[in-house]
Amino acid sequence: MKSIVIFLAGLLLLAAAALGGGGYFAYKQASNPGPSEANTIVLLEPGSTVSKIADTLQDAGIIQYAELFTAVVRIRGEQNSLKAGEYEIPARASVMDVVDILIEGKSILHRITAPEGLTTAQIIALIAADETLVGDITLEPPEGELLPETYAFTRGETRDDLIRRMMKAQDALVDRVWNDRAMELPFSTPQEAIILASIVEKETGVPEERPMIAAVFVNRLRRGMRLESDPTIIYGLTKGEPLGRGLRQSELRGETPYNTYVISGLPPTPIGNPGRAAIEAVLNPAETDALFFVADGTGGHAFAATNREHERNVAVWRQIERERRQGG
């Protein structure tokens, strides 16, 4: 059988010079459906020769004869066009089909999602746990310098490369939106904007509230009021890991660089990695006189411009909490 295959491959090579009957027969053989009965995933390592690729495809049951594949590639002059990667080859793909797929180079894309608000350590842990990525993590990006999004990558991309992409994505976003920021904001650098955006990100899970939350903090900064944000206290205690309980009065008064009930202005670093919407909200906050907000029982918040109005909103929230405890 192998001698027949070598003969067919030879006919293919001869067909490059003159398409005779044998050449036509060999080309037809390379265009016939392949042996695989189901879609097959195959990984072609970078640096593989045509012969190595052919052997890998044959071992995976995608093609029947490695020699025929190699001959097709040589006749078409595509020895340097086959791209490494992870491919899903359709069932019954012919040798010609497989060559076309490898030339096009559309590898399988894997995805990883870094949720908004995670700390850098938490995002790094997600990347470290992904078995499709390779390599040790040697980078130590500062807090707040990764853009939380869903990133597509091919098998074999390094973890460091993905982290660099997250850092570049955040730099590109900030460069783009910084020049379109509102006038007279109470901060003067992109880093300060990221710090405030990280606090906004932690304060609400309702996307459409971000501009209002941002506006409250901007208004407080303008008036020299403390931000009084609970997530900043938690970050000072746990570096952003869940506290697992409510804050204690002693912690509200605790003197850490991140306790915005104690310090004036912004904490020294972000308290997580804010997403695109939170960054945009801080740079273009809602127009409002609100200085306070408190949970309203629906997952969102009630906003107030005066302390008296805020106290009424707090009283409503306390009643909701009591009713929930009684109902539970």
pTM of the predicted protein model = 0.85
Name the 3-class secondary structure at 10: helix
Share of the chain above pLDDT 90, in %: 76
> Do 156 and 269 fall within a single domain?
no
> Do 312 and 200 fall within a single domain?
yes
Domain harbouring 12, CATH code:
3.30.1490.480
pLDDT at 20 over 70: no
Alpha helices in 16-158 (DSSP H): 21-31, 50-59, 66-76, 95-104, 120-129
> How many structural domains compose the chain?
3
Ranges 10-14, 142-146, 197-201, 267-271: which has the least confidence = 10-14
As beta bridge partners, residue 158 has 134
Q: Which of 162, 161, 190 is nearest to 282 (CA)?
A: 190
Full residue range of the structural domain in which residue 171 is found: 109-175
pLDDT tens readout for residues 291-303 = 999 998 888 999 9
Q: Give pLDDT, residue 19.
A: 41
* Cα dihedral across residues 293, 261, 323, 309: positive or negative: negative
Residues in contact with 235: Cβ distance below 8 Å, sequence separation at least 6, in sequence order: 119, 258, 267, 271, 272
Q: Give pLDDT, residue 21.
A: 47
Among the three residues 52, 71, 104, which one is the final residue of a domain in this structure? 104
> Do 141 and 268 fall within a single domain?
no
Q: Give pLDDT, residue 16.
A: 45
